[in-house]
């Protein structure tokens, strides 16, 4: 899992390269209260409403990453011009190709099955088997005056991609 967590560039690009069919399945994009630990990360004094986007990243029909993105309500289209129109497109496809976007340090965590993001991921996938620990990373991006926080929860099926990619490269 370490190799997936520390992917330096676009996780989307790596997932595309590791599978035959990549898909972004948008779960929702709406106003919602941020999680307690997210408020300070995006410069909010307290927990409050943000723009929230959640998607599943799927490789070959299997959900491999649950991605949760928040943008403070005071950010506008000038800060993040494509955010509201992403639909089923990957956020990574815009973040890594915009010269105005600055990526800050990756943060890592081990989340238990009770964590709100893990519960959302499990509900979205319909998973019946629950792992004791899920690995996640998050990163703050800045563009102009805007902040955008992306958290990616790695689902168990992502570990199969490393083996599949290795097998493809040896053939």
Locate the domains of the chain by residue range: 2-83+100-170
Residue 97's pLDDT is what? Answer: 82
Q: Read off the pLDDT band of 149 (50, 70, 90).
A: very high
Residue 84's pLDDT is what? Answer: 73
CA 56 to mean position of chain CA atoms:
8
Residues 45-66: what's their mean pLDDT? 95
pTM of the complete model: 0.90
> Could you give the CA distance from residue 72 to residue 146 in angstroms, rounded to a whole number?
8
Residue 167's pLDDT is what? Answer: 36
Higher pLDDT, 133 or 98: 133
CB contact burial 14-29 (16+ within 10 A = b; e otherwise)? bbbebbeebbbeebeb
Residue 155: is its pLDDT beyond 60? yes
> Could you give the CA distance from residue 15 to residue 137 in angstroms, rounded to a whole number?
16
DSSP 56-96: EEEETTEEEEEEEEEEETT--TTTSTTGGG-TTS-SHHHHT
Percent with pLDDT over 90 in the chain? 69
The CATH number that domain 2-83+100-170 falls under is 3.40.1410.10
What does the pLDDT look like over 67-116, one tens digit per residue? 999 999 988 777 877 777 677 878 887 788 888 999 999 999 999 999 99
3-state SS assignment for residue 33: strand
Q: Read off the pLDDT band of 162 (50, 70, 90).
A: low
26 in Cβ contact with 40 (< 8 Å):
no
């Amino acid at each position: 899992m370490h190799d997936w967590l520390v992917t330096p560039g676009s996780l989307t690009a790596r997932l595309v390269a590791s599978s035959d069919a990549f898909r972004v399945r948008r779960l929702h994009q709406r106003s919602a209260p941020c999680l307690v630990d997210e408020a300070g990360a995006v410069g909010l004094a307290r927990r409050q409403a943000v723009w929230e986007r959640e998607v599943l990243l799927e490789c070959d029909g299997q959900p491999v990453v649950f991605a949760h993105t928040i943008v403070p309500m005071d950010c506008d289209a000038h800060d993040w011009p494509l955010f509201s129109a992403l639909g089923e497109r990957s956020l990574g496809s815009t973040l890594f190709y915009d010269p105005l976007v600055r990526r800050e340090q990756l943060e890592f965590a081990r989340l238990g099955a009770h964590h709100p993001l893990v519960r959302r991921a499990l509900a979205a996938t319909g998973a019946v088997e629950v792992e004791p620990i899920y690995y996640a990373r998050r990163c703050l991006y800045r563009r102009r005056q805007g902040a955008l926080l992306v958290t990616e929860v790695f689902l168990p099926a992502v570990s199969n991609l490393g083996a599949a990619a290795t097998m493809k490269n040896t053939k």
